[in-house]
Amino acid sequence: MTDPANTSVINFGAGPAKIPQEVLKNVQRELLSYANTKISILELSHRSNDFKKIIDDAQASVRDLLNIPDNYKVLFMQGGGTGLFAAVPLNLMYKSGTADYLVTGSWSAKAAKEAGKYGKVNLVLPKQSKYTEIPDPSTWNLDPNAAYVYYCDNETVHGVEFNYIPETNGVPLVADMSSNILSRPFDISKFAVIFAGAQKNIGPAGVTLVIVRDDVLGNAMSVCPTIFDFSVMANDNSVHNTPPTFQIYVMGRVFDWIKRNGGVEGMEKLANLKSKVIYDIIEESKGFYTCPVRRDVRSRMNIPFRIGNNDEELEQEFLSGAVARGMLQLKGHRSVGGIRASLYNAVTEEDTQTLASYMRWFYQVHRE
């Protein structure tokens, strides 16, 4: 019988995504008995000093990695990105009943729809039939009286990524960075709120990293569930209720792994290298592989592409061959089809070259 631990596969999934092998091995060693507690990390009390150290260390690590100023709180919340779609308006619509939303893909569209339950949503961008570009800022319809401006920094489904921070002329800026957090440095001080579901780039599903500037705390709507009140969570250091203890522990280990591997700058260098390898193959394939996204906004994290003029039969053959070679979860999102390679921080250069070699071979076999 084959030992599953010795079976090598590569997870190219959009989430839950690959976690660094080094981190998984460390977790495995500590799973039955964490530190000196003699109990599993899964059983550790969230009120214990041992867990307080885990959460404090994780917060300190991410502060160091992103150079988070002292006037920001670092929270670990539940509900995922979808929960934060509601939490953001529930906490920030106090200044105005209107919020600006830049809709550049499925996730920002869903966020805008959710916010519409709690106030008026102003759609900043011209309506798009397909999410393949980010319209020029000169075409944006920003409301100077909006409570905040919201955008998704990297659209996981459609593979659209901002390569700049939007200018809001003083209106608080909110960003969903679920799928590209810790993949490049950026100026935290330009944001009021940043959130990121862990399951793509920084850990297992079940915890969301939230970074909140102090001046927007304490104004949640009366209907806001306590568990989504940023101020309550900040005052209780993310342990108002039982938090996702195991997920926070693993996320802290991932933060430490990033620090040992060049920090955010190291992750950026690797992300640029990996994505260039795949995009170069697409561009050099003479139309056999095609990426619908405009070149200047192509994601470094999620690369969607089609094969043979959207030949679904050929794409299925590609996917079956990839699975047979140990490359998993390359199927595109159900709403767009095709192929999608997610190259998050834990995906190595070697992993990427394995996919690249297969893409070259498949092209040679099937080109006309």
Contact 219, 172 (CB under 8 A): no
Of 12, 19, 9, 10, which is closest to residue 301 (Cα–Cα)? Answer: 12
Tell me the two tokens of residue 97. 């009943």
Contact 142, 149 (CB under 8 A): yes
Residues 6+ apart with CB under 8 A from 29: none
Q: What is the CA radius of gyration of the chain?
A: 21
Instruction: For 308-358, list the strands marked E by DSSP.
Output: 327-328, 339-342
**3-state SS class at 127:** coil
Contact 208, 80 (CB under 8 A): yes
CA dihedral 180, 182, 187, 191 (to 10 degrees): 60
Tell me the two tokens of residue 304. 């969607």
> What's the N-to-C CA distance of the chain in angstroms?
42
Give strand pairing partners of 108. Answer: none
95-128 burial, b at 16+ Cβ within 10 Å, e below that, comes to ebebbbbbbbbbbbbbbbebbeebbebbebbeee
Active site residues per annotation:
107, 176, 200
CA dihedral 73, 74, 76, 78 (to 10 degrees): 50
Token look-up 């969903």 returns 176
Chain Cα centroid distance, residue 138: 27
**3-state SS class at 211:** strand
Token look-up 């959009």 returns 14
